[in-house]
Amino acid sequence: MIRKAVGQAVFEIRKRQRLTQQELGERLDRNRRTVARWECGDHMPDEEAYSRLPGALGVSPEIFLDAVDRAQRRLAEESPPAPRRPAPPEDQAYALPLTPPNAITGGGEDWIMGYVLIPRKNLFR
C-alpha cells in the first residue's frame, strides 16, 4: 500500500506544481516511464530518487511526507477488508507439500515434488 500512497502523493504534488512526468523525470535524472510507474504504484522510487523527490517537486520534505500519509489513510479507507474464506467441511482433505530431503542444507536435486493428502479432521486435532 505504501507504493500506491507514494505514487498518489507524487501525482498530486506534480499536478499542483504543473509539472509533466517528463520534467519531473529530468529533475531526478530518470525517464518519464519511471515516474509513471511510481505514480501508478507499480514501483517505488529508489533511495536516491526518494530523498530528492521533495526538492524536485518544489516542496519541503514535511509537506511531501504529509501528502504520503494522507494518501495512505485515504487508501486504507477505500480498500475493502479482505474476504474471509469459510472453513472447509470436516471431510475435505488438504494437500500438503512434502519437503525434499536436505531442503535447508542443499542437495536433493533429483527430488520430485509430491503432496500428501491429510483429512481435515486429523489435521486440526
pLDDT of residue 111: 46
Backbone angles phi, psi at 72, to 5 degrees: -65, -40
83 falls within a domain: no
15 and 72 assigned to the same domain = yes
**Residue 69, H or E segment:** helix 61-78
Cell numbers linked to 47: 533511495
| CATH number for position 59 | 1.10.260.40
Which H or E run includes 13? helix 2-16
Tell me, what DSSP letter sits at residue 17?
A: T
| One domain, residues 74 and 97 | no
Distance CA 20, CA 86 (A): 47
Is residue 14 domain-shared with residue 73, that is, in the same domain?
Answer: yes
Q: Does residue 16 register a pLDDT over 60?
A: yes
| pTM tops 0.85 | no
Whether residue 84 lies inside any domain: the answer is no
Residues 69 and 109 both lie in one domain: no
Q: Average pLDDT of the chain?
A: 79
32 found inside a domain: yes
Total count of domains within the chain:
2
Q: What is the domain range of residue 110?
A: 93-123
Q: Judging by DSSP bridges, how do beta strands 115-119 and 93-97 pair with one another?
A: antiparallel
Q: Does residue 119 contact residue 91 with C-beta atoms inside 8 Å?
A: yes
pLDDT at residue 116 in the model? 55
Tell me the three cell numbers of residue 98: 512434502
- Is the domain of 15 the same as that of 47? yes
* 14 shares its domain with 49: yes
At residue 65, the pLDDT reads 92
Banded model confidence at residue 9, pLDDT cuts 50, 70, 90: very high
Q: Is the model more confident about 1 or about 19? A: 19
Same domain, yes or no: 15 and 66: yes
Question: Residue 115 falls within a domain, yes or no?
Answer: yes
Q: Which three cell numbers stand for residue 95?
A: 494437500
* Shared-domain flag, residues 6 and 67: yes
Residue 112 has pLDDT above 80, yes or no: no
Do 62 and 31 sit in the same domain of this protein? Answer: yes
- Tell me the CA distances in angstroms from 42 to 6, 79, 95, 111, one per residue in order: 11, 17, 33, 36
At 77, the pLDDT band (50, 70, 90 cuts) reads confident
Q: Which pLDDT score is estimated for 110? A: 46
In the three-class reduction of DSSP (H, G, I as helix; E, B as strand; rest coil), residue 23 is classed as helix
